Amino acid sequence: MLNTTVLLMVVVFLALAFDFINGFHDTANAIATVVSTRALSPRKAIVMSALLNFVGALYKTAVAKTIANDIVSSAIVTQEVVIGALLGAIAWNLVTWYYGIPSSSSHAIIGGVMGAAVLKVGSLGALKWGGIEKVVIALVISPILGALIGLGIMYVLLWLFGSMSPSKVNKNSLRLQILTAGLLSFNHGSNDAQKSMGIITLALLSAGAIANTDVPLWVKLACAAAMALGTASGGWRIIRTMGSKIFKIEPIYGCAAELSASTVIWIATEFGLPVSTTHVVSGAIMGVGATKRLSAVRWSVARQMAVAWVLTIPATALLGAGFYFLASLIV
């Protein structure tokens, strides 16, 4: 049997590992378009994204509080539950990264928590359905909003730049895209890093180390650093999928997709809603691609991604439950 302090250290390590993996798994979401259009070199794009992910991660904690409060009751959470949830999410992220499938880290951690908690209690009563409903609605609606806003922004940009020559449009768009990619990196950090903050806060609360779900400063800094380091390691498999396989992106389309995704993620963060950067960016890319022509979007790739998205929560719930069972035997 491991004592509470050791278990808490294991949880913190796994949560930071999840954040690190989230960083390189979701790096592509923020920089795939800026790399594919050659607005920035891969190295410069990753450095910029890592720095802005770090800054963004320190921005707010509303999403972290949602993860800690609204998915399962903190009264039934043990360190084994958190360990099971994290291992389930990490396993899924590594598998989808290996095969270059853009999947949702948000779905993964939420599914992992749900599965581990349900197995511990032995019933679905472990879940806070009101909070889960709110989170799932946000996860479903956000990519649709990304596509619709991307569609609108793209038409506005085409109207603004319509009188310019193609070479001038590309030149101006490449400059603008550095700004929009940076904005997306900041917003990615502000939403995604908070998921690990919420998990660590939940573990600290269940161990009696803190009295409420206010996120300690050291947790903010540690999660921000882990995501930034993960981002700096890159995620080239997913970058290839996001940057070229969905839709052949030109600079002006990249600007529209990044600005659309940033808008949706920023709104979600303000309301404390964890959303999938992967979903939102993918939706935005499809939306801007559809303004060119519907056939420009490779819908077969989009369908494969949609299948992965649908499978993520049930798959990680099963993985989280399985890892919880193993953890309960070991500790």
User: Is 50 exceeded by the pLDDT of residue 270?
Assistant: yes
Q: Which domain holds residue 58?
A: 4-330
Band of residue 292 on the pLDDT scale cut at 50, 70, 90: confident
Q: Which of 16-20, 79-83, 108-112, 204-208 is least confident?
A: 204-208
**169 vs 102, more confident:** 169
305 has pLDDT over 70: no
Q: What percent of the chain has pLDDT over 70?
A: 87
**Per-residue pLDDT averaged across 187-202, rounded?**
87
Tokens of 4: 């509470």
**Total of domains in the chain:** 1
Please report which confidence band the pLDDT of residue 246 belongs to, taking 50, 70 and 90 as the band edges: very low
pLDDT confidence of 143, banded at 50, 70, 90?
A: confident
157-172 pLDDT, tens digit per residue, is 888 887 788 788 888 8
- Mean pLDDT in the chain? 83
Which of 41-50, 55-64, 228-237, 256-265 bottoms out in mean pLDDT, i.e. has the lowest?
228-237
Higher pLDDT, 34 or 204: 204
Mean pLDDT of 273-282: 84
Neighbours of 196 (CB within 10 A): 31
Q: What token pair was written down for 98?
A: 């290996």
How confident is residue 244, by pLDDT bands cut at 50, 70 and 90? very low
Mean pLDDT of 78-82: 90
